[in-house]
Amino acid sequence: MKYILIAILLLTVVTARLHLTETQEKRLNELDPNPNHQWYTQRVDHHNPQLKETFQQRYFDNDKYWDSETGPLFLYICGEAICREPADNSFVVNLAKKFNGRVLALEHRFYGMSHPRPDWSTENLQFLTPDQALADLAQFASDKSREFSAEHGIPFRRWITVGGSYPGALSAWFRAKYPHIAFASLSSSGIVNTITDYDEYDGQVYASSLKSGEECTDKWRSIFSSFEDKINSGLASDVYEFFGYFGNDLTVGDFFNFLADISAGSVQYGKRSKFCDGLINTEFKEQDLLNWTLEYSKEEGLDLNEYTVPYFANTTIDYIKAGRQWSYQICAHIGFFQTPAKSVPSMRSQTIAIDYWRDLCQGIFGIDLFPDTDHWNKLFGGKEITGSKIIFTNGGEDPWQHSSIMESENPTFHPIVIDCDNCAHCVDLHGDFPDDAPELTAARDQIKGIFQDWISEELNLERIYPSEVKVGLREFLS
């Protein structure tokens, strides 16, 4: 992914509706040529009635396929990055087409253009928590349902939530926590089981890469060994300069964090074959492999300059940057530090074991910040999440699957593992394409079939208990 650097102060967004200067408008157009967005007034803090501050939260509303009488409402949960309007060929919009539904997508607080405070200081980031994000969704979805009910003379309609990755976890958590607002959810690659030392991630990068053969894993392991040897023999700055970094802030760990992202990102985003074929087609000679690594990292848009503490410590709001906010989320709440695999050969250097991440969190935020993921799992159940009517999908090659629900005794949970070549993170949420694996198409059909039943049940209950007051009964009876 290429990052276009945009620096825009959002003071105006925080206090009032968005008033863009000409320059800001131009930059936004570069970023999103057809911004069809709207704004919702949201509380900064859902837990403290003494704090009356609000901010403007951005959302998209697609009612093109909606039949107000019978059509479900899909709440597409954004997170980890700027929210983009779900494309016409995306899974959530394809669901809307099939069921005559309406899709609303809410931008996650502190990402994109939705900022509770005028900068990303560590103090301001205290309002960046998964439970505040869930409460944002609850406020927004309730208000929208009331609005649609009044506008169209229809019952208070509950939602189907849809999200992938961390928003996939939010999707499941939302259904469990707010069943009076959502009656079903799709949690794609939903990382509901929060883990601090997440070495299974690297273990899966290894296992998935092995599908291309040992030549792939052997060559990759030889590459980070070569860099380790060079750095250990005093050539660190040569190595960093080779990748275009000329500053003084990069640590050895930061370098290997960057290097690990090259293989990890490929496997995570369904490009395992591309990555492994690249390695396999390169001669097993040190300099050839190192040169290949440089070229490949450029092709994948990875930039070593974006791995230093000062880079993440920057508190200036930028629409398209997400590194600082995401770092805060992992350092303060959900962990998932990608450490070297302990039970299989690792695909990353031992320099990025858990201590590296602890130091990184402290360095970025300037305070002793490290997550208590057990606390979070107690609040939301982790792998023992309860509730009903949740579909958990996972790509068979996805390193995140070990933090999701792959099997369940709960009769109304549907774990679906999509096992095909290069089927990885959130693969089901993409649009339909002619070269989709049959397993992927089958999974999407399965999801549609399950939703079909749940939507019919909900419509029946909606006819019997149309008012918002009786909506709890719908949950009880469904």
Ligand X SMILES: *[C@@H]1O[C@H](CO)[C@@H](O)[C@H](O)[C@H]1NC(C)=O
Decide if residue 7 touches ligand X (CB under 6 A).
yes
425 catalytic residue (yes or no):
yes
Among 48, 89, 291, 460, binds ligand X (CB under 6 A): 291
Selected catalytic residue, list 165, 188, 189, 209: 165
- Any catalytic annotation for residue 165? yes
Q: Specify the 3-state DSSP secondary structure of 59.
A: strand
Counting residues that bind ligand X (by CB under 6 A) gives 8
Tell me which of 123, 229, 241, 288 binds ligand X, using CB under 6 A.
288
Tell me what percent of the chain is helix, strand and coil, each rounded to the nearest 5. 50, 10, 40
Cβ neighbour number for residue 32 with a 10 Å cutoff: 18
| DSSP H or E stretch at residue 263 | helix 252-268
Q: State the Cα–Cα distance between residues 192 and 377, nearest whole angstrom.
A: 8
Inter-residue contact 113 to 10 (CB < 8 Å): yes
Pair type for strands 38-43 and 54-62: antiparallel
Task: State the nearest-atom distance from the C-beta of 257 to ligand X, in Å.
Answer: 19
Assess whether 428 carries a catalytic annotation. Answer: no
Which residue in the set 89, 316, 386, 460 belongs to the binding site for ligand X (CB under 6 A)? 316
Residues 94-123, interacting with ligand X (CB under 6 A): none
Asked if 284 contacts 224 with a C-beta cutoff of 8 angstroms, the reply is: no
Residue 456: how many other CB atoms lie within 10 Å: 11
In the complex, least distance from residue 308 CB atom to ligand X, rounded to whole angstroms = 10
- CA distance linking residue 93 with residue 414, whole number of Å: 21
Q: Which residue type occupies 39?
A: W
**How far apart (Å, rounded) are the C-alpha atoms in residues 139 and 46?**
9
CB of 294 to ligand X, least distance (A): 8
Strand partners, 450: none
The distance of closest approach from Cβ of residue 293 to ligand X in the complex, given in angstroms and rounded to an integer, is: 11
* Region near ligand X per CB under 6 A, out of 120-128, 213-221, 255-263, 315-323: 315-323
By CB under 6 A, which span of 13-21, 129-137, 283-291, 464-472 interacts with ligand X? 283-291
Query: Which residue's beta carbon is nearest to the bound ligand X?
Result: 7
Question: Per CB under 6 A, which region of 21-29, 162-170, 285-293, 398-406 contacts ligand X?
Answer: 285-293
Binding range to ligand X, per CB under 6 A, among 22-30, 174-182, 313-321, 377-385: 313-321
Question: Per the structure block, which two tokens stand in for 327?
Answer: 């770092």
Q: Give the nearer residue to ligand X in terms of CB position, either 30 or 288.
A: 288
Q: Residue 170 or 290: which CB sits closer to ligand X?
A: 290
Query: Of 178 and 311, which has the nearer Cβ to ligand X?
Result: 311
Structure-token pair, residue 116 = 């509770």
SS (H, E, C) 271-325: CHHHHHHHHHCCCCCHHHHHHHHHHHHHHCCCCHHHHCHHHHHCCCCCCCCCHHH
Instruction: Name the minimum Å distance from CB 314 to ligand X.
Output: 4
Catalytic residue among 261, 425, 428, 430: 425
* Catalytic residue ranges: 165, 398, 425
- Under the rule (CB under 6 A), what is the footprint of ligand X? 7, 287-288, 291, 314, 316, 318, 321
